[in-house]
Structure 1
Amino acid sequence: MEPLKVVAQLWERIDARDWHGVSRLIAEDAVIEWPVSGERIVGRANFIAVNSDDAYADERSVEVLRILADGDLVVTEVEIPQDHVVYRAVSLWTVKDGEIVGAREYWTSPGQDPAPRWRAGYVEPLAEPLAEPLVAD
């Protein structure tokens, strides 16, 4: 399966909470890094455990805002709203032989890192994200 399709299916299955389906897309020895929180998830079982934890039980749908592929590298931008916060992630996925073997994901919440005052004269507030998701390969 093409790398872009593998990652698109990953987000669809995470959205559906289809953990068995997710496990078929992640290599047994995959390494997923979360630099913002300083964590590394090693292995399929740990990736499934982290993502299926009860702490995420109240999550709403996953919206893929963008997905781009270049060879084995797939980049996604997703948004996951919850009652009290919206999470966004930019993820760089590496896919080999139809499985995700590695990733680096940058998770944050819009506005969590406020702009410093000194930039006020040079910037304007960011508008809403694109209305239509971008898909390219």
Structure 2
Amino acid sequence: MEPVEVVARLWERIEARDWDGVAGLIAEDAVIEWPVSGERIVGRANFIAVTSDDDYSDERPVEVLRVLTDGDHVVTEVEMSQDHVVYRAVSLWTVRAGEIVEAREYWTCPGQDPAPRWRAGLVEPLGGDRSALSG
């Protein structure tokens, strides 16, 4: 299976809450880093335990916004909504022999960090239009 297919299936199985299916895509000794929260998840079992936790894995739909690939490396941008909060992640995946062996994911909530006032005359607020990034 190509790396992009592995990662596509990963997001599909996360959305379906198919934790056995997710486990089948993660290497036993995989390392997943979350720099925003300063955490490193070492090993398939720990990744599954974190992502399947009831506080983390409720019924959020997963929308894949963008996928970029380069050999064994796949970058995804996804969005998950929960109640009135939108979570977005940019994830950098490394896939070898059909398994995810490492990743670095940047999870945040769009608009969470206030823009500095000094930039007000130089920028405009982001809207819901993603067309500027496609093409």
Residue aligning to 1:67: 67
Equivalent position amino acid for 1:52 in 2: S
Q: Which has the higher contact order (CA 8 A, sep 6+)?
A: 1
Equivalent position amino acid for 1:2 in 2: E
Aligned equivalents of 1:39, 1:113: Cα separation in 2: 20
TM-score normalised by length of structure 1: 0.93
**Does structure 1 residue 118 correspond to structure 2 residue 126?**
no
Aligned-residue Cα RMSD (Å) equals 1.5
* Cα offsets for 1:87-110 (capped at 9, x unmatched): 000000000010000000000001
Aligned length: 133
TM-score normalised by length of structure 2: 0.94
Q: Identical aligned pairs, as a percentage?
A: 80
* Cα offsets for 1:4-63 (capped at 9, x unmatched): 000000000000000000000000000000000000000000000000001024342100
User: Please, which runs of 5 or more residues in structure 1 have no aligned partner?
Assistant: none
Structure 1 runs (4+) greater than 2 angstroms displaced: 56-59
Conserved 8 A contact 2:66-2:78: yes
Conserved 8 A contact 1:31-1:41: yes
Aligned equivalents of 1:128, 1:83: Cα separation in 2: 18
Aligned equivalents of 1:26, 1:81: Cα separation in 2: 24
Aligned equivalents of 1:3, 1:128: Cα separation in 2: 29
Aligned equivalents of 2:32, 2:8: Cα separation in 1: 17
